[in-house]
Structure 1
Amino acid sequence: MLQPLIHLYDDTLFLIQRKRFDLSKTITRPQYVGYFGGCYFYYWLALILSLATSWGLTAAFMFPQTNRTTESFLYVIETSYDLDPYWADYVAYKYFDTDENHVRHINILSFFGVLQHGLVISLSFGTLFYCGVQTYVNIKKHTGMSEKTRSLQLQLFRALVAQTCLPMFMMYIPIGFMFSCPYFDLQLGAVTNYQTVMAQLYPGIDPFVVLYLIDAYRRIILNSICPRFLYKKILRKTVSQPDVSMFSVSVKPSISSNGLTSTSRMS
């Protein structure tokens, strides 16, 4: 049995970030852009809130508290956190029950609760992965775009990949590992706070990925922090590329005995 949890999980676990859709729908299906704005936005918001509500209801009703889970909770709250149980509550992810003969049986109610949580997490991560792959494939197909546009699209795609990997390591993997601990009888104690801290830090770290990978944003930040460094970098780039406008050719017509000729002078 997993040690009872005293953490508060926000609805952000399944918040499908709209920026993933923004880049994917613009490149892969531009004709469907209208379905993500106006009144349709509230439909998407209702879908997200319904999934978050189903997550909360599942945790409240499919993982009931028993005498054994309460005893385990009191033990953990005293040894790992040194807190007053009056100020804390828990959700008991109890996967197995033990009968009088000390034989373990699967807790069917908790099994379906974990299955619902797994489906929500899989749907969230699957959406991010699918949009990322479709964006990459369509960027490769559009060979007629200019180099500047292609460079910007590739920068946006790299930011998309980084922003997909970031929640995977900060939210999905830690929470998935926590849910799998009961199958291996692992007692983590206060170590489970790691995934709570990572989930809270993720919204603050996520914007820095875009600020670092997009050239325009990065130049603005570097210019505000160290303008002299950015000026020297641009100056070296300018000197390394000679300016062809320094050389001009002037043509001066002249008349000779053979007809109209011209002489050129390099300046």
Structure 2
Amino acid sequence: MAYIICFELFYIILEFLTVPDLLTLDYAFFIIVDPEKSLLPENWSQVADLIYCGAFAVSLVIFGCQFAYRYHVLKGNSSWTASTPRNFIFWLGTQAVLASFYSYFVHAFMQRNDYSKKIMKNVGYTDYRIESVGFIGLIFYPKLDNGTQIINWQSFIGVSVTTATLFASEFTMIYFAYKCFQATKSFINQSGCSSKFRRLQWQLFYALVAQAIIPILFMQIPMTMIYTSTIVLRRSIPAIGHLQSMTISIYLAIDALPTILIIKPYRDTVIRSLFFWKKRKVAPYQTNSSNSKQQHASWTNF
């Protein structure tokens, strides 16, 4: 889970630096990095926008990779989990390749054009600001000057890639979550492990499940709402884009909470830190034999 924490810290810093605007209006959806709002130089805006989109893609698949890794750990597949450069490159490189692939298609099929410029002018952007901002956009049914509405196939090709990533991440996560459940159950039943060890394994599994549900609720469902309102209904409103901006921030803020609250050693540490003023009882000195009995009883009752 350490690399998930590192990624989320990176995502938080990126969000703080870019301050992206998610604009939804009728049949259009834009992700804008405005130099007037962000902390980055103007010539970095477009690159930062692409990196932001790539980070969004990684946030969708990272838990599928985590479930897959945990499954191989439980099955004892050391060839996939051993601390080797090959495995390190594979588990981290897979997500980096996906982010690059995602960002490339976003750059290729979601660039600014005459249709996007027209909509941005309607919401108050000047010609100079349109050219200076970092821009990623989808316009599914633009209107020509004579009022005729057409289909923008470039946007549909771009959204097909993002949608495929969405469904692939959900399938991978659900598939390996179920495999992890089976492997955890089989591993605990077959091994002569202590009750403490059994509880810890289930706590790790439930924490990972809870941690994976958070991006589904706060990222995938709002993104599905955006696609539904812009593609199907063609009646999206700015509030939906603002909702997605807010839920991404909430996801980054609370995603670590399941691990802290469900896994007992972490939970106990937090509780002790919060109630640090409580004095700990000091046990009287005991002989070695009584000490060993007491330790055995404490491990049994954990």
TM-score range, shorter chain: 0.7 to 0.9
1:2, 1:186 within 8 Å by CA — same for their partners in 2? no
2:73 alignment counterpart: 26
- Summarize the alignment of residues 155-170 of structure 1 with structure 2, pairs less than 5 Å apart: 155-170=203-218
Moved more, 123-132 or 94-103: 94-103
1:188 to 233, 237, 262: 237
CA distance in 2 between counterparts of 1:101 and 1:228 reads: 73
Contact 2:57/2:99 (CA < 8 Å) preserved in 1? yes
Structure 2 Cα separation of the partners of residues 77 and 129 of structure 1:
43
TM-score, length basis structure 2:
0.65
Structure 2 counterpart of 1:65, which letter? Answer: R
Deviation at 1:75, TM superposition (A): 2.1
2:140 is matched by which residue type in structure 1? Y
- Across the aligned residues of Structure 1 and Structure 2, the Cα RMSD in angstroms comes to 3.1
Among 115, 130, 133, the alignment partner of 1:88 is 133
Give the C-alpha shift of residue 2 in structure 1: 1.2
Distance 1:220 1:92, change over 3 A: closer
- Kindly tell me the number of residue pairs found equivalent between the two proteins: 230
Which residue of structure 1 aligns with residue 165 of structure 2? 120
Q: TM-score, normalised by structure 1?
A: 0.72
| Cα shift at 1:205 | 2.0
Whole-angstrom distance in 2 between the partners of 1:10 and 1:106: 24
Bigger shift: residues 162-171 or 220-229: 220-229
Find the counterpart in structure 2 of residue 129 from structure 1: 174
Q: Deviations over 1:211-243 (max 9, x none)?
A: 1101111111111211577979xxxxxxxxxxx
Amino acid at match of 2:32: I
CA contact (8 A) 1:2 1:92 kept: yes
Deviation, 1:67, is: 2.2
Shift of 1:13: 2.0
Matched with 1:53 is 100
Equivalent in 250, 255, 275 of residue 206 of structure 1: 255
In structure 1, how many angstroms separate the alpha carbons of the residues matched to 2:263 and 2:141? 49
Taking structure 1 as reference, are residues 32 and 173 closer, same or farther at Cα in structure 2, changes over 3 Å only?
A: farther
1:147 and 2:195 equivalent? yes
Match of 1:73 in 2: 120
Q: 1:37 to 1:213 in 2, by over 3 A?
A: farther
Which structure has the greater CA radius of gyration? 1
Q: Is this contact kept in 1: 2:111–2:135, CA < 8 A?
A: no
After superposition, the C-alpha distances for 1:87-138 in whole angstroms (9 at most, x for unaligned) are 5243230122456885544322221111111112222232222221111112
Q: Partner letter of residue 70 of structure 1?
A: K
Aligned twin of 1:41: 88
AA matched with 2:116: T
Match of 2:183 among 138, 158, 168: 138
Classify 1:41/1:229 alpha carbon distance in 2 versus 1 (closer, same or farther; 3 Å).
same
SS at match of 2:30: coil
Q: What is the rounded CA distance, in whole Å, between the counterparts of 2:279 and 2:180 in structure 1?
A: 32
**Separation in 1 of the partners of 2:68 and 2:274?**
32
Sequence identity, in percent?
21
Please give the alpha-carbon distance, in whole angstroms, between the structure 2 residues aligned to 1:84 and 1:66. 14
CA change 1:84–1:105 in 2 (3 A) is: closer
Deviation, 1:139, is 2.1
Q: Alpha carbons of 1:100 and 1:86: their partners in 2 closer, same or farther (altered >3 Å)?
A: closer
Q: 1:262 maps to which residue?
A: none
2:20 alignment counterpart: none
